Amino acid sequence: MRSSSAIRLTTGEVVNAPIGASDVPTISTSDFAALAGRQAAADAELHRARAALTLAQQMAQRADALLSEEAGSARVRDEAVAQRAAAEAALAAARAQRELLGPDPAAIHGKTTLWVRVPVIATDLSRLSADQPAYIGVPGADAPTRKALPVRTLPTANPAAGTTDIYYRFDNDDQAYRLGQRVAVAVPLKGSAQGLAIPAAAVVSDIHGGAWVYRQVDERHYQRQRVEVARRDGDDLILARGLAAGDEIVTAGAAELFGYEFGIGR
């Protein structure tokens, strides 16, 4: 048996990784036609701001040169310097607005780094270990195994559902995941252990669905012990209760012992 890390198994959505710290991830429900239009307008504003700054810089240089030759006035030079500062501020604002709109929609697909958005009930946020990696996988398959690292971005939430989004990034070199895909996510919780992990073959079930293992009490004797299974982790089962660390159990032949105890097959 081994200890298992405490996790919360939930679901998430694969989203596009932002290009900047101030960017918001692009999700599958985004209106890409409208997004492309806003991006085109933001690109045009960015080019206009750059041209305005270039002109303001030239005017400031010219006003400063005229003043140094006593052919201009200090007032004209000061106004030109102020216009240059305003143009610099306008360019910074245009850049920030463009970054918020993210990358061109045509460049989204085929990326080798993606994010996963995990909605979390607000009351559960304090239980999460936010600085630890999560693991993602295909819903309904074995335990999630693809490592995803926590990231910080602009906060997003769904007030109607009462959830707050947390984000993780993962490598998608094999293109196994697509934008908008629903995935299973194993989110780490605070605390070192949730239960003991034992091989699935060690657990037998009765006709009522109860789970049992055979615990060794001495060299030749075994006692059937009731356990409660919390979840599956690959070929192992994570126990919520029933065994203590150090207990010896039958990991091969438990079904045969169960049949012998109840006379099945005799």
Query: Is the pLDDT score of 110 beyond 90?
Result: no
Q: What integer pLDDT is reported at residue 200 of this predicted model?
A: 87
Domain 195-261 belongs in CATH node 1.10.10.10? no
Confidence at 186, pLDDT banded by 50, 70, 90: confident
Domain 32-101 classification at class level = mainly alpha
114-160 residue pLDDT tens: 899 999 887 778 888 878 888 898 886 666 788 999 988 777 888 88
Mean pLDDT of 13-40: 68
Tell the CATH superfamily of the 7-26+111-188 domain: Efflux pump adaptor protein, beta barrel domain (2.40.30.170)
Whole-number Å distance between alpha carbons of 214 and 12: 38
Confidence at 5, pLDDT banded by 50, 70, 90: low
CB burial of 219-252 (b: ≥16 within 10 Å; e: otherwise) equals eeebebeebebbbebeebbbbeebbeeeeebbee
> Which of 98 and 155 is assigned the larger pLDDT?
98
Could you tell me the residue ranges of all domains in the chain?
7-26+111-188, 32-101, 195-261
Q: Nearest CA to 130 among 149, 154, 156?
A: 149
210-227 residue pLDDT tens: 889 999 988 888 899 998
- Write the single-letter amino acid at 117: R
What is the side-by-side order of every strand in the sheet holding 2-4? 2-4, 195-199, 236-241, 222-233, 211-216, 204-205
